[in-house]
C-alpha cells in the first residue's frame, strides 16, 4: 500500500514537471523563478528566435527583487527554450 501511494505521488509530481517543461513560451509573456534567499526573478519575453544551428532561444528582460544586496536590478538575458522552461514558470 505504501509503495502504491509513493508511485501515485511520484506520477503526480512528474506530471507537474512535464507540464512546466513543456509550457508554451509566448512573446510578451511573464514568467517567474524563486531563487536563493527568496529572491524573485520576473522574466518578460522579448523574442524567441533560432540560432544558427536551429536551436530556439528566448531573449528576455529579467527583474530580480528580494531582500539581499544582489537584487533590485534589470537586465536582458538569453536562454535556450529548454533551459528557460526548466527555470521559469508561467505567471498566473
Could you give the percent of the chain with pLDDT greater than 70? 72
∠ Cα 53 56 61 (to 5°): 130
8 Å CB contact between 65 and 72:
yes
Q: What is the pLDDT of residues 33-63, one digit of tens each?
A: 998 888 899 999 999 999 999 999 999 999 9
Q: What is the mean pLDDT of the chain?
A: 80
pLDDT at 70 over 90: no
3: Cα separation from own chain's centroid:
31
Amino acid at each position: 500500500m505504501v509503495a502504491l501511494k509513493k508511485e501515485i505521488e511520484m506520477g503526480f509530481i512528474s506530471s507537474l514537471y512535464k507540464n512546466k517543461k513543456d509550457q508554451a513560451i509566448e512573446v510578451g509573456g511573464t514568467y517567474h523563478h524563486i531563487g536563493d534567499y527568496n529572491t524573485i526573478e520576473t522574466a518578460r519575453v522579448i523574442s524567441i528566435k533560432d540560432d544558427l544551428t536551429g536551436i530556439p532561444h528566448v531573449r528576455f528582460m529579467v527583474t530580480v527583487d528580494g531582500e539581499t544586496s544582489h537584487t533590485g536590478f534589470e537586465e536582458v538575458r538569453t536562454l535556450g527554450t529548454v533551459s528557460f522552461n526548466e527555470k521559469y514558470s508561467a505567471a498566473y
